[in-house]
Structure 1
Amino acid sequence: MVSGLEEITLATILLVVVAGLAAGWVDAVVGGGGLLQLPALLLVPGITPVEALATNKMGSVFGTTTSAVTYYRRAHPDLKTALPMAGVALAASFGGAVLAASLPASVFKPIIVVALIMVAVFTATKPTVGELTKLRHSGNRHYWTAGAIGAVIGFYDGLIGPGTGSFLIIAMVTLLGYNFLAASAKAKIVNMATNIGALAFFLPHGSLLWGLGLILGLANMTGGYIGARMAVKQGSKFIRIVFLVVVGALIIKLGTDVWMENFSG
């Protein structure tokens, strides 16, 4: 079992740093950085899945916090929607992590793959969706819908995780009516909360690798800062293109997992 950085080679640390930078950038733009970060951590010699999950969440907290602050300073997202949504998502993420300890993620992966395919088809066939903000609800109905999105996707993040930011963005675009830039800015605040919620569970139950987690966190922060600035500068069309690429990668990754778990061997 890995007990500290002394047992990790320089090449492994460099791999984790590069993965953290790339994951931070992807997470800041559309979410889905876990596709890069978690597999890199699992390559660390002797690391356990729980250690990898806990360390991954620690790195992601640094990255999503940095990108959330950057979005707030440059895009000024509506905190009246984002903060209550984040609070609900934090609690739901903790609950999802609790269930993840006793229920295999393989139970849910086929459903997630189907959902991702539907999201990709919808986004690709409706190019004007997410270009402009046209809120679908007003008053309490808007906030209740936002809270429900936070609860469902927060729970998913604690339970499984990959693509949480992407699910948040498409839900806010389609169900609330935000454009991609506004949705991405709010998604970072909510995603930061879901990462904190899951990490709150993993801290006492999993062996967090603090040294590696801090290195990963710094890399994630750098990637998150660059990605958030680029997303704000390039706007909704750029985010939509990256979104489709990341969702496609998620479909391939999770679809492969489902195939290997159910049909191989």
Structure 2
Amino acid sequence: MFVRQAKTLFFFILMEYSSFFGGYGLDVVLLLAAFSLVAGFIDAVVGGGGLVQIPIMLINLPKEPLATIFGTNKIAALSGTSLAAYRYAQRIRFDLRLLALVSFWAFAASFAGAKIVSHLDSASLKPLILVILILIAIYTFFKKDLGAVQTKHLTTSRQMLYGSGIGLVVGFYDGFFGPGTGSFLVLGFVVILGFEFVTASAYAKIINCVTNFSALVVFLWQGNFILGLAIAMAIFNVLGNWLGSRMALQKGNGFVRVMFLIIVVLMIVRYSYDIFVA
């Protein structure tokens, strides 16, 4: 009698555990958590954590709708990025008007992108993104002093105008697709607004929090997430972001520039594979 009850209890716990993680086993949970740690570290330094996190989710959660994968990823990404944004905010002085304006347009654009992600084929964007990434890599590699110091001192009105454009374009991209959003934000602040890399990363983190939250509202409303996986990934993403933001602040612009180049090259490889091989 006791053995039968113990077996019943065991299978009940097992079923509850499996249900909490969307029916996936511990091996999948631990694998996603480990990659989430790496993604958090990369994302804190220069953005692009989705380059690590989303592909591993697509591979290990092949039956899940794209919107569910994005929603689960957003929960984890927002958790880690929020911590990195807080750490940067303690060390970097922000222009709050610029930050608020860019965040506003990024929020609206990300919300719109997330609303239509289930209706359009995001793969159609990949060839265009690949071309953009190749140009970014070439430009960053040959411009050795890129992001070393602040190179532009734009008028307030131009900063607001250009910043709004960055928020609209990158915000929509984040809601609609996502991987590399932080890197695109960093590049926008460095090239268009003339910021140095560490400051650009700080702005990017806060705005990325806004775009993640905006898209996440849509995914949560639609029920497109797996709570257990999201929580496990979020814990490790936070840890990775803590380590990454600490290293970026300690090592400065040169380290962030090198990491940026590495991430852009990896993104080129990834998109090339998706377009020409997969």
Distance in 1, Cα, partners of 2:117 & 2:62: 24
Q: Deviations over 1:121-177 (max 9, x none)?
A: 000000011100133411111111111101110001111111111111111101000
> What code does the residue aligned with 2:262 have?
V
Aligned mate of 1:191, from 191, 199, 208? 208
Distance in 2, Cα, partners of 1:258 & 1:20: 25
- 2:29 maps to 13
1:99 aligns with 2:108: no
Distance in 2, Cα, partners of 1:247 & 1:122: 11
Alignment of 1:46-125 (within 5 A): 46-125=63-142
Alignment of 1:114-263 (within 5 A): 114-260=131-277
Distance in 1, Cα, partners of 2:79 & 2:111: 18
Q: Give the TM-score taking structure 1 as reference length.
A: 0.93
- C-alpha displacement of 1:3: 4.3
Aligned mate of 2:55, from 19, 34, 39? 39
> What code does the residue aligned with 2:218 have?
F
Q: Give the TM-score taking structure 2 as reference length.
A: 0.89
Q: Is the 8 A contact 1:50 1:206 kept in 2?
A: no
- C-alpha displacement of 1:45: 7.0
* Structure of larger gyration radius: 2
Q: Is the 8 A contact 2:85 2:205 kept in 1?
A: yes
Distance in 2, Cα, partners of 1:21 & 1:144: 36
- C-alpha displacement of 1:231: 0.5
Q: Is the 8 A contact 2:106 2:211 kept in 1?
A: yes
- 1:24 maps to 40
Deviating above 3 A after TM superposition, structure 1's stretches of 4 or more consecutive aligned residues are 44-48
Q: Is the 8 A contact 2:114 2:218 kept in 1?
A: yes
RMSD: 1.6
> SS in structure 2 opposite 1:129?
coil
Distance in 2, Cα, partners of 1:227 & 1:81: 25
